[in-house]
Amino acid sequence: GQNIDQPTEMTATEGAIVQINCTYQTSGFNGLFWYQQHAGEAPTFLSYNVLDGLEEKGRFSSFLSRSKGYSYLLLKELQMKDSASYLCAVVYNQGGKLIFGQGTELSVKP
Amino acid sequence: DSGVTQTPKHLITATGQRVTLRCSPRSGDLSVYWYQQSLDQGLQFLIQYYNGEERAKGNILERFSAQQFPDLHSELNLSSLELGDSALYFCASSVAGHPNTEAFFGQGTRLTVV
């Protein structure tokens, strides 16, 4: 299969840093996305990694290790509006499909 | 606003019925993707069209079908509806034919089957 695993829920404090992990099957891997989705709304693009390393974009960073089948999304200086579901999605060569994980529901507390 | 338009926003229908969901992609985007999102399944890829032709197929039921028209808008047809088909259906569009580019999602159609 093409299992993509993320924690179901996480809680963090406003102003803090949180890391959301994602593991996936490496066979046929061809890129990884992170999307943010607020409840009842459309997913919006956060980041894309295809090579190993860290991609930084403002308060958000995403890391990829292709050999380990591992990625994380790092959110700094958390704000209340960051409370949302964070979706890890992997592109697989076979069929050229983008497969989403179940998402991690992040709650930011004051 | 992502530039992707989905209609209707909400749909309530009875079991056994057929519905059509519509999606207009962002201007210039050639690819349209359909996803189903239910509480217990997460975001499931259904099907992709690129410039009018089917490009990739996911976990789409035989009761479901889709097409992309010459003006690039797309329709997802769901027939013989069951209670379990109740979900949020998203359409997304991107400029390229492969999924390695950012996709822009519409606001979704919430389908309730009663």
pLDDT at A1: 47
Residues of chain B positioned with their CB less than 8 A from the CB of A32: none
pLDDT at A95: 61
Cα dihedral value A108, B3, B9, B15, nearest 10? -100
Q: Each residue of A61-89: b (16+ CB within 10 Å) or e?
A: bbbbebeebebbbebeebeeebbbbbbbb
d(CA A16, CA A95): 40
Residues of chain A positioned with their CB less than 8 A from the CB of B99: 31, 91, 96-98
pLDDT digits (tens, 9 = 90+) for B40-68: 778 999 999 999 999 999 889 999 999 99
Residue A79 structure tokens: 């704000």
**Nearest chain A alpha carbon to B88:** A40
Q: To the nearest whole angstrom, how far is the Cα of A81 from the nearest Cα of chain B?
A: 17
pLDDT at B79: 97
Chain A (7-46) residues lying within 8 Å, Cβ to Cβ, of chain B: 30-31, 33, 40-45
Suggest the residue from A4, A97, A105 to mutate for an interface test with chain B (most B CBs closer than 10 A).
A97
Residues of chain B positioned with their CB less than 8 A from the CB of A50: 100
User: What value does the mean pLDDT of chain B take?
Assistant: 94
pLDDT digits (tens, 9 = 90+) for B20-45: 999 999 999 999 999 999 977 789 99
B95 touches chain A (CB under 8 A): no
Report the Cα A16 to chain-centroid distance in Å.
Answer: 18
Residue A82 main-chain phi, psi, to 5 deg:
-80, -5
